[in-house]
Chain A
Amino acid sequence: MTMELTIHEVANRLNLPWNTIERWVRQGRIPMQKSGNIYIMREAVMKKWAEAHNLSFFLSKKEIDQEKNLQPENLLPAMQRGSVLYGINGQTVEKVLKDAIDKIPDLLIKNKKELLATLIERESLASTGIGNGVAIPHPRTPLSEMHKNSAIITCFFEKPVDFGSIDNKPVFIMFILLSISVKTHLHLLSRLSFCVRNKLFIEFLKTSPAHDLFYAKIADYEKEIDQIGDF
């Protein structure tokens, strides 16, 4: 099938303003044919011409669109995917991490050893305890088995644990943040930290709410974030 392109389509594919292409047609620099009232060009001719002139040329607009539309997902779906764990035991950082990882459903994470090792490695660089009794452990680089979707595992502790947080308060809840890319990581982290900055939310978390209540609260906060339009 031969595909015919108009000036605007050619401009899109060359990533140039359409008035430049229009001028090129007028000056006879680009071989477009007049067909009725519009100028058209066959895709194959176009490709050849672009190659001859060293111009980068995108075969179709869809590829770019796909990349652009890939907005990082929000907290709620990631949290629902990651599930909520209650009564995590342990006196030290390593022990609570190990207990939490053991309790993660096998469907989500298969290589638990790798996860534990990377989390501990990250923890040894600097504590992920961000204050107010909250910690957000995460691997330094996206996990090898996390491809499509990010996940946040919410872990309520049995007893507060000293995480070496910046405000020295013992940690009673941690969110294990497993993201697919650095961009998603920042996006989720920034939304999460908006929530935990709120004193009321911390009080709410201290009551170890049931997971549907917890998700509802998160949904409320996300709505607020979207209204401000910050993140």
Chain B
Amino acid sequence: MSIFKSWRNPFKWNFFRSDDRLLLILIAVIVGSCSGLAAVALNRSILILFDWLHPFRHYWWAFILPAIGAALSSIFLEKIVNEGAGHGVPEVVYSVSSYGGLLRFRSSFSRIISSCLTIGSGGSAGPEAPVVMSGAAIGANIASFFSLNDRQRIIIVGCGAAGAISSIFNAPISGLVFSIEVILGEWKASNIVPIAIASVAGTEISRFLQGNSIAFAHHNFDITFFDIGASFGLAIFTAVVTIFLTRSLKTVRGISEKIQIPLWVRAAAGGCAVGIIGMFLPVVLGEGYHFIGSMINENFTQGLLVVAIALFAKIFATSLTLGSGGSGGIFAPCLVIGSLAGLTYYRALAIIYPSLSWVNEGCYALLGMAGLISGMLQAPLTGIFLIVEITGGYNVILPLLIVSSVSTTLCHYIEPASFYLKALVAKGQLLRPGTDARVLSDLSVPELLERDCLTVNQNMRLGEFIHIIKKSRRNIFPVEDEKTGRFLGLIHLDSIRSYIFNSDMYNAVFLWQIMDTDVDKVYPDDDLSEILNIMDRKHLFSIPVVANNKFIGIISKATLLDQYRKELMVQTLD
């Protein structure tokens, strides 16, 4: 029987099991290819749906197309697969930091379908985040199939995300950098190797199926000294636009959550509004990659005013689509908004300083994208590598670095958490490896419980209690009810020290008279950070743990320090 088992599953063969790194690389290839396939599938289906609906765009009722798409996607997510709206990246990061990367199998296709409906019908959102979620879920499930441990599964989840991004942009380095900078948050060789392999696999799949084309190819730019100077101004401008976009997304979401209507109606209303904007400015519809191409190649000929209006229209359309419950990511809209911002900046610059010879507007569109991506994700490396790779231009690297880093810094100053991680940070769920929060969240109350406390009951006399004190190694004594065993209170040696030497009181005082009934207690499921907060606030060195009204042990700071240090050493020294 066991022979058949091992034969059926070649990856359980000892050859691959002999070295974990080898196994991880092998799985990385599989996961990278699968998530690459998922990315290609989503990209293609969006294009097909978009083209299929194109003839209908000229009718007067075309504005309801995005509404139908958003409503269908909302119904699909809510009723059929029972998952929340949103783009999915926070869910992946949360799972990586708290559940060892476990993700549900249905997550590997649910976002693809829902975002295809939303974007294909004209909603302003991006396919990248949904595909990251899918890739990560594919990775998580494949990792579980091979019964990998948490740390290995996290790496494979990162592989899935990297494969997806690499495939959708045909940009392997961006996939690698995005996965490590945003999803894992830990630069280590053991992370980088499998993820790099997965990026290569994802890119190869994409090149095999769609050809090796650089998304926004362009001719060479001649960057002058003035452009370097101007890029500081662009960085500030993109930072402002980023903040505006963030706030606008937040506001629309806040308003839509207050309205008490079914989710799909809400999504439909948002889609309708986007459709109406799209009737006048088609640039806002869909993922908008077509327009980025035309902007970089200087085919976007409208004047400054139109570009500026388009910039704000795209921001509103994106906020409406995502805020009302449409499914999709922020990546593609960021790129469109970024290129519009770059173009606006260039047009304004050309009017203010007509005499100077600026490099062309395509370059500014490109820099604008980098500024928006870096500011929004607060991941400067992802922004830089992505733009370099999708435009195939290394010659813009100097202004690119400036725009990315300045924009990230400014945005970080105003919005301390990136768009993806904001919700997690607000809930205290962002637990990057090697941080205090991570160590505390990994340690649990049962691991720290000290059970060597001697319990006493409330009807004991002080004289009998003295004998218990002699035997105990601790200075706190939990008091239990004689009959039920219920936890009643605590006696701290410090508080009775003044009269335990007075033998006259030995028979006169019962423990219920001296016990402290108003004690802080914690439960086995409590968060350690919460427990430490209580201990810090009340200046406690130990705190009783109670389960089902019964005392089960104490948590002391001394033991906690010991365990915390060991945990930290094991977590950081890999």
Contacts and interface: CB of A to CB of B under 8 A. Distances in A.
A19 B100 contact: no
Interface stretch (B74-82, B294-302, B562-570): B562-570
Given A19-B446, A55-B566, A230-B467, A27 B149 contact: yes
A47 B288 CA distance: 58
Contact of B149 (A28, A52, A53, A230): A28
A229 B150 contact: no
Interface in A23-44: 23-30
B151 A52 contact: no
Contacts of A54: 569, 573
B150 A26 contact: yes
A14 B471 CA distance: 27
B570 A229 contact: no
A53 B470 CA distance: 38
A230 B570 contact: no
A17 B100 contact: no
A25 B570 contact: no
Contacts of A225: none
A213 interface: no
A228 B569 CA distance: 46
Contact of A27 (B151, B444, B563): B151
Contacts of B447: 17, 19-20, 23
Nearest to B467: A230
A20 B449 CA distance: 12
A25 B471 CA distance: 37
Contact of B444 (A19, A30, A53): A19
Q: Which of A17, A25, A28 has the most CB of B within 10 A?
A: A28
B149 A26 contact: yes
B152 interface: yes
Nearest to B150: A27
A25 B447 CA distance: 14
A186 interface: no
Contacts of A16: 563, 566
Contacts of B567: 20
Interface residues of B, number: 24
Contacts of A23: 442, 444, 447
B210 interface: no
A53 B569 CA distance: 6
A20 B151 contact: no
Given A17-B447, A55-B570, A229 B151 contact: no
Contacts of B251: none
B571 interface: yes
B471 A28 contact: no
A52 B148 CA distance: 23
B563 A28 contact: no
Given A20-B447, A23-B442, A229-B471, A30 B570 contact: yes
Nearest to B17: A33
A54 B574 CA distance: 12
Most buried by B among A16, A25, A27, A228: A27
Contacts of B446: 17, 19
Contacts of B570: 24, 29-30, 53, 55
A53 B447 CA distance: 19
A28 B151 contact: yes
Contact of A29 (B151, B443, B471): B151
Contacts of A229: 467, 471
A99 to B, nearest CB: 38
A29 B563 contact: no
Interface of A: 14, 16-17, 19-20, 23-30, 52-55, 228-230
Q: What 4 A-B pairs come out closest when comparing CB atoms?
A: A28-B149, A28-B151, A27-B150, A20-B447
5 contacts: A16-B563, A28-B151, A28-B152, A29-B574, A229-B467
